[in-house]
Each structure stands twice: as structure tokens, then as C-alpha cells.
Structure 1
Amino acid sequence: MRYDTPIYFQKITSGEYDPSTGNYEDDTVEETMRYASVMDTGTDMLKLVYNGPKQDSLTIQLQNHYQEPFDRIRVGEKTYKVDFSRKLRTKHTFVVSEVQ
């Protein structure tokens, strides 16, 4: 198993209200890069997590635990939400689905 795919944990901060214009500022996204093993989710795991097949689902495995808070994960140009997470002794596994 190769941990050679860069993934980005994204923390989204909502924009603040500007009373002079009456608008909200744009959201800011902070990204933290880690290398991971990224693969398609197997059919057994799809049945367990989603109760059936789900399009564009990935399994991401890190060599170490990721402790920081985050909102979503970006792999390449696509963003994903975490549907299932499991911490093993040293590894951390995420089952994610694409955010539209």
C-alpha cells in the first residue's frame, strides 16, 4: 500500500458580517496537506456504510491519526465529506463521498 496521494483537510471559516455594506464576507478555507493511500471503496464497505452502492465513494487511509478539526477533504479537484471514520492503533481510515 502506497501513501503517495496528496489529500487536503479543509477547515472552512464563515465570512463575517460587514454592517457598512450589509453583506457577509466570503468564506475562507484553510488546507492541511497529508499523504494518504486512496482507493475506491469495496462493495462490502458500501453495503455497511451506505446500505447499498453509492457513486464516487473513496476509502482514504493515513499512516498516522489526524487529530485537527476539519470540515471536508479534497482529493485532486474534488471535495468529499466523511461518512465513516475508524482509528486503528496507528492508522486512520476514512470512507468519504463526493460533495456536489
Structure 2
Amino acid sequence: MRYDQKVYFVKRIPGDYDQKTGNYTDKEHTFPVWATVMDTGTDMLNLLYDKIPQGSKTLHVMGHWKQPDLIRIDGKTYKIDLMRTLRTKQTFIVSEVPG
């Protein structure tokens, strides 16, 4: 299995209150990780979602990571739907976040 695509794990950190805008400014830390990215199989899509959503992918990364808040692949943002930790790697099933 090739780990040939660079993905970015995004961890959100609550920021400070901005008095000018009235919003909190969240900060994001991104970590580049080499992964194998593939489309999720139809059987797994039916089992996990009970339908076939658009933009679902499966990632394999070497080693063990703390669960990120989001994952960016090719400029698109994905949320984690399922994470499995195996002996030497982790598997993530992610779906695209609209917008």
C-alpha cells in the first residue's frame, strides 16, 4: 500500500473574543500526513450511512494519531465519520463537508 498523498489533519483551538466583530476567532493547527486515499466501497457506505453519499473517502495513515477535528484533502474539507485504530496504522472514513 502506497502512502503517496499528502492530507492535512486540522485541529481547532478556541481563540479569543474579538470586540470589534463580536465573534470568537478560532485558530487552526494543520499537520501534514502522508496517506493512502481511496473511494469508500459501496458495502461500507450502505452499512455506515444507509445510503450512498457523495464525496465519501477512506484514508489509511501509518502510525497512531489523536483524532483531528477535520481533514483536508486536495483543498476540500472532510469530517470524520468512523476511525479505526489497527496495530500499525489508522483508518478513517470521511465525508465531505458542504460549503
Q: Which amino acid aligns with 1:98?
A: E
Structure 2 segments unaligned to the other structure (5+ residues) = none
2:68 to 66, 70, 77: 70
Residue 33 (structure 1) aligns with = 32
SS of 1:3's equivalent in the other structure is coil
Q: Which amino acid aligns with 1:35?
A: W
Checking the alignment, whether the CA contact within 8 Å between 1:80 and 1:96 is kept in structure 2 is yes
SS of 2:87's equivalent in the other structure is coil
The alignment covers a number of residue pairs equal to 98
Checking the alignment, whether the CA contact within 8 Å between 1:15 and 1:24 is kept in structure 2 is no
Runs of 4+ residues deviating >4 angstroms: none
- Sequence identity (%): 47
Within 5 Å, give how 1:46-57 maps onto structure 2. 46-57=45-56
Residue 59 (structure 2) aligns with = 60
TM-score (norm 2): 0.89
Query: In 2, Cα distance between the equivalents of 1:71 and 1:15?
Result: 15
Q: Deviations over 1:42-88 (max 9, x none)?
A: 00110111112111000000121113x42100011001000011111
- 1:78–1:22 Cα change, 3 Å: closer
What is the RMSD computed on CA atoms of the aligned residues?
Answer: 1.5
Residue 18 (structure 2) aligns with = 18
Q: 1:17 Cα shift?
A: 1.3
Structure 1 segments unaligned to the other structure (5+ residues) = none
